[in-house]
Amino acid sequence: MPHNKQKKIAVINDFCGFGRCSIAVSLPIISALKIQCCPLPTSIFSNHTGFESFYYYDFTRHMESYAKEWEKLNLSFSGILTGFLGSPRQIDIVAGFLERFAKEDTITVIDPVMGDNGSLYATYSPVLAKRMSQLVPYAHILTPNLTEACILSGTPYKPDMGSDKLLNICRKLSKMGPKEIVISGLDRGDELENFVFEDGKTPVIVRQKRVGPCRSGTGDVFSSIIAADAVNGIPLVDSVRHASEFISKVLRRVVELDLPCTDGLCIEEFLKEV
């Protein structure tokens, strides 16, 4: 079909009008890496939930009809990236989407957005967190932070886990399906680490100097680069370095501009360099 002459990544995530996160981040990043980004929204926000007030529209009841139109076009995807999901019903819909659209050569990246610092996000329930494990077997690449990796693997959370414990977590997760795993954003004081696991290889730790406080959308930038690089044939360790260095560069500019943490990363100033 003529629609499938270009590489495409389907991104299943919420859309946020202000705050630079989710689809609003993935769309420019993936496009800048020369891949067509095809968003499937899970919900629509005027601005993300880190603000005191926001408008929210649940897109759940439209998702299947939306995806069926893609089936009519006979679309195929080089990659599929999933992000924040707001209900067990959405997890069922995404699983169905992966069954229909993930072909043998489709690279699936699951970013299990559930919580941080040892706790679930306020909008996330334990039931929903448990259901997230349903998507792990579909992943070629899994990109949890430490909290999410512990939840999915049934491991008690400790913020200062060393390499041996991180490796054990990755081995547990890999038995569920994914052969490549990045436990991202590990807090090491003045540095942040990404623990990169590839089945059959020695794990690699990618370090980057910490720049300022945590900011909204950083994980979305990270997972978008990982997904696009995977589709472009970039090895995972090189991709993690790419994502970490790009985020660090943008964060330095964010600090110069003194932007509020809620405003995310000023990626538009560096898209030509991604």
Residue 96 lies in a domain: yes
Q: What is the pLDDT of residue 211?
A: 87
> What is the average per-residue pLDDT within 1-28?
94
> What is the average per-residue pLDDT within 83-110?
95
Question: What contacts 201, CB < 8 A, 6 or more positions away?
Answer: none
How many residues appear in the chain?
274
Residue 16 lies in a domain: no
CATH code for the domain of 223: 3.40.1190.20
Question: If pLDDT is split at 50, 70 and 90, which confidence band does 1 have?
Answer: low
Could you tell me the pTM of the whole model? Answer: 0.95
Q: pLDDT tens digits for 108-143?
A: 999 999 988 888 887 788 888 889 999 999 999 999
Q: What is the pLDDT of residue 121?
A: 84
Domain count, the chain: 1
Residue 72 lies in a domain: no
Q: Is 211 exposed, middle or buried (0-12, 13-18, 19+ CB in 10 A)?
A: middle
Residue 10 lies in a domain: no
Q: What is the pLDDT of residue 213?
A: 79
Q: Are 135 and 112 in contact (CB under 8 A)?
A: yes
Residue 130 lies in a domain: yes
Judged against a pLDDT cut of 90, whether residue 264 lies above it is answered with yes
Q: What is the pLDDT of residue 126?
A: 86
User: Is residue 98 within a helix (H) or strand (E), and if so which, with residue range?
Assistant: helix 88-101
Residue 12 lies in a domain: no
Residue 50 lies in a domain: no
Provide, rounded to the nearest whole percent, the portion of the chain with pLDDT above 90: 85
> What is the average per-residue pLDDT within 254-266?
94
> What is the average per-residue pLDDT within 77-90?
95
Expressed as residue numbers, the domain containing 108 is 82-273
- State which amino acid sits at residue 90: Q
| Average pLDDT over all residues of the chain | 94
Q: pLDDT tens digits for 159-181?
A: 999 999 999 999 999 999 999 99
Q: What is the pLDDT of residue 137?
A: 96
- State which amino acid sits at residue 138: Y
- State which amino acid sits at residue 141: I
Distance CA 139, CA 28 (A): 23
Question: What contacts 5, CB < 8 A, 6 or more positions away?
Answer: none
Residue 116 lies in a domain: yes
The CA-to-CA distance between both ends of the chain, in Å, stands at 30
Which stretch of 57-66, 119-128, 181-190 has the lowest confidence by average pLDDT?
A: 119-128
Instruction: Return the higher-pLDDT residue of 264 and 123.
Output: 264
